[in-house]
Structure 1
Amino acid sequence: MGLSVRGKGLRVTGVGAHMDGHGTGVRARLITCTPEGYRSELTGWKDANPVSAALIKVSMISWKWAGKGRAFEHGTKLCVPSGRGSARSGNGVTGAAIRPGCVVL
């Protein structure tokens, strides 16, 4: 899994993630983990879009915040846990879970 964060300083305007393969029902969500150990869900589950370029197949997903973006405290960890399963399932993790990608701000 790859993870990219866009913004300036501790203000994030967008987050993007890509996962190898095209599987059906690939979903992901954005969560934070603070240095104090608190965890919170920033977004709900979102379906990934399959993308092909030459022989490479990935599933991509992104989140954007309008205006100046969203501010985070120093040391906050942004993570994108994902799951493979039915696109209709409530939590998106009916299949094998994929290791989350994380970035520390």
Structure 2
Amino acid sequence: MGRHWKDLDPSLHPDRKALAEAIRDLRTNSGKTAEQVAKDVPCSKGAVSLVESGRRLPSPAMFKGIVKSTGGNPRSEKLAKIYAAAAAAVGLISGIADIIDRLWRR
């Protein structure tokens, strides 16, 4: 039986919501559990859940680890733009060039 997602907090910034949904979709489509992804990253299952709920913005390294763990392409421009927009929404990164540099050089 599949997991039924709770609706994301309606007060979330749209870019943070888009990131949470993208990460949820990656993990769901990969067939992995939050525990399996957490082991791969490595981080806690709770940290993965916080990211998927939009309550936590992952670091660039954590984001890259989640994407790789779920079979996504960490060099995907689409994913990088979603992450960069969410990071900019909370004032962490000014734009796409910063995030691409942080993700691709590690």
Asked whether the two chains share a fold, i.e. TM above 0.5, the reply is no
**Which TM-score applies when normalising by structure 1?**
0.23
**Which TM-score applies when normalising by structure 2?**
0.23
Bigger helix fraction: 2
Larger radius of gyration: 1
Bigger strand fraction: 1
